[in-house]
Structure 1
Amino acid sequence: MFEDKLHEECGVFGIYSIDGEEVSRDIYFGLTALQHRGQEAAGMAVSDTKGTMGNLVMKKDMGLVSEVFHKDDLERLHGNIGVGHVRYSTTGGSTPENAQPMAMKYIKGSLALVHNGNIINAEELKSEQMHRGMPHYTTSDSEVLAYEIISNRVKAATIEEAIAMSADRLKGGYAVIVMSPRKLVGIRDPYGIKPLVLGKKGNTYILSSESSALTAIGAEFVRDIEPGEIISITKDGIKSDKELCGRKRAHCIFEYIYFARNDSVMDGISIHDARIKAGRALAKKARVDADIVVGVPDSGLVAAEGYALESGIPFALAFHKNSYIGRSFIKPTDEERRTAVHMKLSVLDSVVKGKNIVIIDDSIVRGTTMRQLIEMLRNAGAKSVHVRISSPPFLYPCYYGTDVPTASQLIASEHSKEDVCRNVGADSLEYLAVDDFAAMVNDLPICTACFTNEYPVK
């Protein structure tokens, strides 16, 4: 990942084996399939539904899934119900105490919670909670969410009712999975900003941020959780509460442009097909005479394929990606980040030498990465480089769990398209239009706030 790329906040995963089978390995592989959604921290909590939740076992730490969990951890994490999490921080710092799951004991028992998204009114809720004597040990809004559910659980007859009561006070985009002693409960925000899906493998049920994690463990995709739906999984099967459903939907468009894995299906839309359509739309809008079309690995490759299909210009692989280089976005200085980009991507000189090139990427945030890539292409002998972006220019921040910088850090917010083109060193620059989204996602209602300043949750 690069410093001027956007980052999703988290990926969530929950599983319940009604037959009592161990679930820790499935959580491990599910989280690995969601690793693209967060690389700062990982964790899982498991329990045995025949116990009292006093047998809850948890491990979480900073790092990738493969760095946090080892063979002996999976052997120690016994249970037939569990939740898992991969994290990239937007609310709350990148520190070990903010890693998830959040596990708590209270007067009516225990729960473990994983959360993807951003609660806009978290500070207000946190202040109320602290005035009621609830200590906060993290800076994460997930702890606020856990306390809210616990507070309502004391008054509610069931954990589902407590979650519904909490949802009435929450503002923002979120997908939450809660493990109680004998239930796995999921909720998706009423606008559908954050994704959540249901899967099944035999007599085991799974909740996940994406369908790709279901495929990774050999489970079948059942359906998307509806915006506002609370779904409960117990030994008796599945129950659904849709009382919060029915609001205007606003699915995050960046799931389809960039965040979701290419092999996922989300709210009935193939991510791969959506990106092909984005590339085709770019070619119709911004055709240029060129010899080859190339994509920035990995996010720009599918849109580049779509551009090539529509334009008739051959698609080519111009960059080799080294998958074993550390995550460049956490490098502390500009010079170290610059070095990391060059170490992660190298140009195939024989492919680009003497060529007029169209380069496709999903976004330009600060412009630093695109500038370096164009410089690398020119140094390898490219005659001209034309940039095409499969999203509109970013102008406004996101408040729902996507790490979009402040407006002053967004290059398109401070500069015209012509200025951005000169800044990155391109021969031409064109963006996808907001109007192109409808065809891209089959008229799915979407959130476009970071492009239009029209926020579904004020």
Structure 2
Amino acid sequence: MLSATRPFLAHPFDDDKLKEECGIFGVIGLSDASNFVALGLHALQHRGQEAGGIVTYEPETGFHSERRFGYVRDNFTSAAIMKLLPGDLGIGHVRYSTAGSKGAAQIRDVQPFFGEFAIGGCAIAHNGNLTNAARLRKDLIERGAIFQSSSDSECIIHLMARSMQKTQAERLKDALRLVEGAFSVIAMTRTKLMGVRDALGVRPLVLGRLGEGWVLASETCALDIIGAEFIREIEPGEMVVIENGVVESTRPFAPANARSCIFEQVYFSRPDSIVGGRSVYETRRQIGVELAREAPIDADLVCPVPDSGTPAAIGYAAESGIPFGLGITRNQYMGRTFIEPSEQIRNMGVRLKLNVNRALIRGKRVILVDDSVVRGTTSRKIKDMILDAGAAEVHFRIASPPTAWPCFYGVDTPERSKLLAATMSEEEMREWIGVNSLKFITLDGLYRAAGEAKGRDAANPRFCDACFSGQYPIAPADKLDEGFVMTAAR
């Protein structure tokens, strides 16, 4: 088991994908709440594999907190650990660091965060990224705040401490009115479970019910694992407070046009989740259909890059009439915690986690369907593997437009100079990767796949697509202070 003080070793070959954000989960009114939270976090593990934490409340013994590096299954399954988390109210968080220290992992950066105020304790778990966190942090420190972590989320606790409101719910509203950026927040006091989404609804949050208890979660798949009924999504700009079995809803923020993250549909959410009222699997399958219409090619086999490329590859094959085949197999047991890589092992690259089905690939013109191209290094290695297996041709079809801009709303993207699409044209990328053809779905095609029949409305786009368009719906204040130059916001 990974201890709370041992650094978590990320997989050395996972640096060519956009990193997961975070996953949050909370329950109220369920005995042994920590067990339900652990199950919910297990279902959300794809959103963050670096670390996880759970906070619960039990009236006789108060608040209890356990935070660990590594997978939920390695840390929150033993009876001994779960006994440390009593109560029928609890929240949890799985993390991939999108803000804070990028050096050695620190347990103090692992959420949920907890604050003891004059009116009682409060714990929070945050999915997203605050774009004015550096400004807030500087101001708070100058006014006497003492930070324990490098996370932007801790700003919320300090802002709550400075609020003069009489209840924790009102203090949370005060704090969130001062922050900018993307946030879905789950918070808990001694008697309440609270959930909030920012005014644009960039990050997801859903409400469920299990018996007499209530559940808040990043995705519907986390409701499914505990048998909870999906009630509805928390709406952009909405705050719900659950106490004594009653759900109260308020609107703390000024109205705004919703702009949920479109990459939830492409990659981040699990395919068995419902996001924005739409099946993620169906959207990804439809992306493949649109790709086949926009970028047809004469070939013998449609092959997904596992696992995120699979639904789009199924759609591409069905629309094009070209046979679908599992030409690449993923080692499902490798995970992200791996041996310290020697140079010899590092040179093996993606072969440690992906292997080609040579009997299927040999002699064929292969269409590889992947979810995205970030740096392009993994695409080159996969192409080499396919050619080494005897493929006659290799064609890439990408289920998202070129990723040319960094995300500042909770996705850990490289700086712009390291994004392949920021420095190369599509043809230059094709030559650099070394494939026979390379085509990305258009932004209009992606919107059509997500249910917008007319494509993207440039004047009022439904989604946040800044990583593709460079049009940021929320000005990234801290990055602008650092000299970042963005296109005009829409």
Normalised by the length of structure 2, the TM-score is 0.89
- Of the candidates 131, 137, 141, which is equivalent to residue 130 of structure 1? 141
**Cα distance in 1 between the residues matched to 2:238 and 2:338:** 35
Query: Are residues 407 and 331 of structure 1, via their aligned partners in 2, closer, same or farther at CA, if it must alter by over 3 Å?
Result: farther
Letter in 1 for 2:84: R
2:358 matched residue in structure 1: 349
Deviation at 1:403, TM superposition (A): 1.1
Deviation at 1:192, TM superposition (A): 0.7
**Cα distance in 1 between the residues matched to 2:152 and 2:200:** 19
**Cα distance in 2 between the residues matched to 1:272 and 1:403:** 23
1:6 matched residue in structure 2: 18
Query: Are residues 333 and 362 of structure 1, via their aligned partners in 2, closer, same or farther at CA, if it must alter by over 3 Å?
Result: farther
Query: Contact 2:213–2:245 at 8 Å: present in 1 too?
Result: no
- Of the candidates 50, 55, 69, which is equivalent to residue 40 of structure 1? 50
**Cα distance in 1 between the residues matched to 2:329 and 2:450:** 30
- Of the candidates 286, 290, 294, which is equivalent to residue 295 of structure 2? 286
Q: Tell me, what secondary structure is at the counterpart of 2:394? A: strand
Deviation at 1:132, TM superposition (A): 2.0
Q: Tell me, what secondary structure is at the counterpart of 2:178? A: coil
1:161 matched residue in structure 2: 170
Query: Contact 2:289–2:316 at 8 Å: present in 1 too?
Result: yes
Query: Are residues 331 and 377 of structure 1, via their aligned partners in 2, closer, same or farther at CA, if it must alter by over 3 Å?
Result: farther
- Of the candidates 67, 70, 74, which is equivalent to residue 74 of structure 2? 67
Query: Contact 2:212–2:245 at 8 Å: present in 1 too?
Result: no
The yes-or-no answer on 1:219 pairing with 2:228 is yes
Letter in 1 for 2:46: H
Deviation at 1:130, TM superposition (A): 1.1
2:8 matched residue in structure 1: none
Deviation at 1:68, TM superposition (A): 2.3
Where do residues 411-430 of structure 1 align in structure 2 (5 Å cutoff)? 411-430=420-439
1:314 matched residue in structure 2: 323
Query: Contact 2:38–2:77 at 8 Å: present in 1 too?
Result: no
Deviation at 1:253, TM superposition (A): 0.6
- Of the candidates 165, 179, 187, which is equivalent to residue 170 of structure 1? 179
Query: Are residues 409 and 336 of structure 1, via their aligned partners in 2, closer, same or farther at CA, if it must alter by over 3 Å?
Result: farther
**Cα distance in 1 between the residues matched to 2:147 and 2:314:** 48
Matched residue pairs, number?
451
2:131 matched residue in structure 1: 120
Query: Are residues 337 and 35 of structure 1, via their aligned partners in 2, closer, same or farther at CA, if it must alter by over 3 Å?
Result: farther
Q: Deviations over 1:56-92 (max 9, x none)?
A: 1111111111122241111321110000010000101
Unmatched 5+ stretches in structure 2:
1-10, 453-460, 476-490
Q: Tell me, what secondary structure is at the counterpart of 2:83? A: helix
Q: Deviations over 1:388-414 (max 9, x none)?
A: 001111111111111111111001111
Letter in 1 for 2:74: E
Deviation at 1:328, TM superposition (A): 7.6
Query: Contact 1:11–1:38 at 8 Å: present in 2 too?
Result: yes
The yes-or-no answer on 1:407 pairing with 2:416 is yes
Letter in 2 for 1:111: C
Query: Contact 1:331–1:337 at 8 Å: present in 2 too?
Result: no
**Cα distance in 2 between the residues matched to 1:451 and 1:293:** 25
Letter in 2 for 1:447: C
Query: Are residues 337 and 116 of structure 1, via their aligned partners in 2, closer, same or farther at CA, if it must alter by over 3 Å?
Result: farther
Letter in 2 for 1:191: L
Query: Contact 2:92–2:112 at 8 Å: present in 1 too?
Result: yes
Query: Are residues 121 and 336 of structure 1, via their aligned partners in 2, closer, same or farther at CA, if it must alter by over 3 Å?
Result: farther
1:25 matched residue in structure 2: 35
Q: Tell me, what secondary structure is at the counterpart of 1:133? A: coil
Deviation at 1:450, TM superposition (A): 1.1
**Cα distance in 2 between the residues matched to 1:111 and 1:149:** 9
Deviation at 1:243, TM superposition (A): 4.1
2:91 matched residue in structure 1: 83
Query: Contact 1:227–1:245 at 8 Å: present in 2 too?
Result: no
Q: Tell me, what secondary structure is at the counterpart of 2:17? A: coil
Query: Are residues 116 and 356 of structure 1, via their aligned partners in 2, closer, same or farther at CA, if it must alter by over 3 Å?
Result: same
Unmatched 5+ stretches in structure 1:
none
The yes-or-no answer on 1:296 pairing with 2:305 is yes
Q: Deviations over 1:358-379 (max 9, x none)?
A: 0000100001111111111111
Q: Tell me, what secondary structure is at the counterpart of 2:35? A: helix
Letter in 2 for 1:130: I
Query: Are residues 102 and 335 of structure 1, via their aligned partners in 2, closer, same or farther at CA, if it must alter by over 3 Å?
Result: farther
**Cα distance in 2 between the residues matched to 1:328 and 1:82:** 27
Letter in 1 for 2:96: Y
**Cα distance in 1 between the residues matched to 2:398 and 2:143:** 49
**Cα distance in 1 between the residues matched to 2:257 and 2:340:** 40
Deviation at 1:236, TM superposition (A): 4.0
Query: Are residues 328 and 26 of structure 1, via their aligned partners in 2, closer, same or farther at CA, if it must alter by over 3 Å?
Result: closer
Structure 1 stretch 327-336 or stretch 297-306: which is displaced more? 327-336
Deviation at 1:337, TM superposition (A): 4.9
Q: Tell me, what secondary structure is at the counterpart of 1:6? A: coil
Query: Contact 2:93–2:111 at 8 Å: present in 1 too?
Result: yes
**Cα distance in 2 between the residues matched to 1:229 and 1:337:** 47
**Cα distance in 1 between the residues matched to 2:168 and 2:346:** 45
**Cα distance in 2 between the residues matched to 1:447 and 1:329:** 34
Query: Are residues 201 and 63 of structure 1, via their aligned partners in 2, closer, same or farther at CA, if it must alter by over 3 Å?
Result: same
Query: Contact 1:188–1:196 at 8 Å: present in 2 too?
Result: yes
Q: Tell me, what secondary structure is at the counterpart of 1:173? A: strand
1:92 matched residue in structure 2: 100
Q: Deviations over 1:83-136 (max 9, x none)?
A: 001000010123221111111212221111101100010111111211221101
2:470 matched residue in structure 1: 453
Query: Contact 2:349–2:381 at 8 Å: present in 1 too?
Result: no
Query: Contact 1:226–1:245 at 8 Å: present in 2 too?
Result: no
Q: Deviations over 1:223-242 (max 9, x none)?
A: 00000100101014100002
Where do residues 375-386 of structure 1 align in structure 2 (5 Å cutoff)? 375-386=384-395
2:121 matched residue in structure 1: 110
Letter in 2 for 1:432: I
1:234 matched residue in structure 2: 243
Query: Are residues 340 and 60 of structure 1, via their aligned partners in 2, closer, same or farther at CA, if it must alter by over 3 Å?
Result: farther
**Cα distance in 2 between the residues matched to 1:33 and 1:80:** 20
